[in-house]
Structure 1
Amino acid sequence: MPGRVVPGSAIVEPVVDIHLDPAWIDRALRADVAEGLTSQPKELPPKWFYDDRGSELFDQITRLPGYYPTRREREILEREVDVIAERSGADTVVELGSGTSEKTRIVLDALAATGRLRRYVPFDNSEATLRNAAAELAEAYEGLAVHGVVGDFEHHLGHIPDGGCRLMMLLGGTIGNFPPAPRKDFLASVAATMVPGDTFLLGFDLVKDHDRLIAAYDDPEGVTAAFNRNVLSVINHRLDADFALDQFEHEARFDPDEEWIEMWLRSRCAQQVTIRGLGMTVDFAQNERMRTEISAKFRPENIGPELAGVGLAMERLWTDARGDYALTLSRMVEGR
């Protein structure tokens, strides 16, 4: 079939746009660290987990026995991908927080089978991870145009290339990393990039037994603990700080009022940390906790109204067989 994207040898060289240059990253990190370490309680944004090492660690987390979201999401994708491909009508896939793009192949294969697939746009903040995934997919799909964007969710969604009929995707439950107000702002920003005909495939981790939730964020292998402490390594490296990683204990908690998991780093002792790049010192009391991530869990009946609040009409909601996880497909409300 002319123009069909199938596995083969004809490779289109990927294009990668870089919006996170070293100066931008330095300014953003400085501002976040200065604000977060002088807050009460102390807090660091989870986006700073994801340097190249952090991306590797997170990929390991997704393969751990207790980390169910990846497997549940894959179950839904494999079962419903033909419906997703049909209802989206897409020839372009735009993946926010693309990472290694492993699950993406399920969607790309389904669209390739329709003969429509033309372009894949991965958006991620790790340049190395994005470039590796882009090269692999360009090689795997003959004629596939890969146009990567290295950027930040809060600042660079406007740089996503337009054109074609696009299926936007945010998988892995990443939407849960936003508290309610920033989450609404983010979803509104995504909706603002969409045009009539575009659709949005979005993954939500659902509320469930608290022990299972905590186990997913505190594995006995210690991979999540290493991932959590990696944010301190990023600050040490980029801001010439002297965090002693072994003096901070990883903790995961469930907040039943907010219905989210929180990840914290607890100081094992009273200590002072110097951040020479900022000209500041920070005191930690023994057992003082610093929050590094939230991961909100959702109830299916609340998802549609939340999407509607930013002008997105939910067309379908699917869950896995156990009801652990949900995928939704939505599109812009006509006339908005």
Structure 2
Amino acid sequence: MTGRFELNRRLSDGYFTDTLHTDVLKGLTGRPKSLPPKWFYDARGSELFEEITKLPEYYPTRAEHSILAVRCDEIASATGARTLVELGSGSSRKTRMLLDALLRHGTLESYAALDVSADALREAGDRLCREYPDLKVTGCVTDLDSDLGLPDDAPGPRLVAFLGGTLGNLDGDARPAFYAALRGELRSGDALLLGADLVKDPAVLVPAYDDAQGVTAEFDKNLLRVLNRELGARFDPDAFEHAAVWNEGEERVEMRLRSRIAQTVELPALEAAAEFEAGEEMLTEIAVKFRRESLTAELARAGFGLSHWWTDEEERFALLLAEPVRDGRSPM
């Protein structure tokens, strides 16, 4: 407890170490190599991502912000939420528009932030407590891949926000599992506010993940520094180059680290080593882009009905409001 901010941990003390070991052994000792993007986000990685959101090439944050600025009061009126729950909240920077709108609407009582980073939750939570002294603010350290951890004791209805296009980090197998877990925790009257980046010209998409200043490259390589610190690994970040590629078939941007040379990287904590051929790539993040028809269909298969779909003026990004469908009835 820090002031009025309450931070809860739903994960065991050794959870992150055990999960990192499992992910690295699975992802780096075979081919093709890959690691989940959650390992980007130590303190330095979080700082770099905040820098990325302000880059001229990185349009998603600005596009989503523009939609929220216009639609936040409509969202508040449509949901009447007494609790706002944010998944993968990070700095909670965009959350203020929703908080302000729900407070203007007269319904909001509490805000619950869920994130993998305790540091990010603590910093954002303390700040929000100062800015909103009458609001109950809680944080929950959890891994959204395995445990959503929605606060079941929070007053309803609850509005669950999953913003920033983070849904795109989940592939076609992981998204149904995520929807099912979320659908299982929602109650009558709850709603889902989902941010989704849309399919567009690769000439716009790719630079958003490979900026001219090299901030995204530094963010990508920070993953190697995390492995060095946590596993005693011996990655040389300069021996890898960052690449962003548009995968047309999967309609997604893929971030990769490409080995400049043939090399063997020791992983002492795992008593293992990762072998890289010259030019071999390690997939570090996917960013799936969506179309309205297919996204609406996959939500429907998971038991969600779309009630609102909003885009920015250039139709680059979508913000949608969905509700759990019961007894075959849609909110539309």
TM-score range, shorter chain: over 0.9
Structure 2 partner of 1:5: none
Q: Does residue 178 of the first structure (1) align with residue 170 of the second (2)?
A: yes
Q: Residue 266 of structure 1 corresponds to which residue in structure 2?
A: 258
Matching residue's letter, 2:113: P
Structure 1 residues 303 and 285 mapped into 2: Cα distance closer, same or farther (>3 Å)? Answer: same
Cα offset, 1:334, TM superposition: 2.0
Determine whether 1:321 maps to 2:313: yes
Structure 2 residue aligned with 1:193: 185
The 2-side partners of 1:233 and 1:82 are apart by: 42
Q: SS where residue 180 of structure 1 aligns?
A: coil
TM-score w.r.t. structure 2 length? 0.96
Moved over 2 A (4+): 19-22, 158-163
Instruction: Find the residue that maps to 2:318 and give its secondary structure.
Output: strand
Rounded to whole Å, the distance in 2 between the matches of 1:86 and 1:57 is 35
Name 2:27's counterpart in structure 1: 36
Q: Which residue of 2 aligns with 1:112?
A: 103
Secondary structure of residue in 1 paired with 2:315: coil
Cα distance in 2 for partners of 1:85, 1:162 equals: 21
Q: Distance in 2 between matches of 1:18 and 1:284?
A: 37
Q: Please give the per-residue CA displacement for 1:312-333, whole angstroms capped at 9, x wherever unaligned.
A: 1110000110010000001110
What is the identity, as a one-letter code, of the residue corresponding to 2:32?
A: P
Counterpart of 1:218 (choices 210, 214, 218) is 210
Q: Are 1:153 and 2:141 an aligned pair? A: no
Paired residue type of 2:244: A
In structure 2, distance between residues paired with 1:110 and 1:12 = 25
Q: Partner of 2:17: helix, strand, or coil?
A: helix
- Mark the CA change 1:12 to 1:90 in structure 2 (over 3 Å): closer, same or farther: farther
SS at match of 1:167: strand
Q: CA RMSD of the aligned region, Å?
A: 1.3
What SS does the aligned partner of 1:254 have?
strand
- Percent of paired sites with the same residue: 46
In structure 2, do the counterparts of structure 1 residues 30 and 193 end up closer, same or farther at CA, with 3 Å as the change threshold? Answer: same
Give the partner amino acid of 1:180: G
CA contact (8 A) 1:167 1:199 kept: yes
3-state DSSP of counterpart to 1:189: helix
**Superposition deviation, residue 162 in structure 1:** 3.6
Aligned pairs, number:
326
Tell me what 1:299 maps to: 291
- The answer as to whether partners of 2:110 and 2:154 remain within 8 angstroms in 1 is no
* TM-aligned CA deviation for residue 168 of structure 1: 0.1
> CA–CA distance in 2 between the matches of 1:139 and 1:112?
16
- Answer yes or no: is the 8 Å Cα contact 1:97–1:123 preserved in 2: yes
Alpha-carbon separation, structure 2, partners of 1:186 and 1:240 = 32
Alignment of 1:1-336 (within 5 A): 13-158=4-149, 160-164=151-155, 165-335=157-327
Residue 264 of structure 2 aligns with an amino acid whose one-letter code is Q
Tell me by how many angstroms 1:111 deviates.
0.6
Gaps of 5+ in 2: none
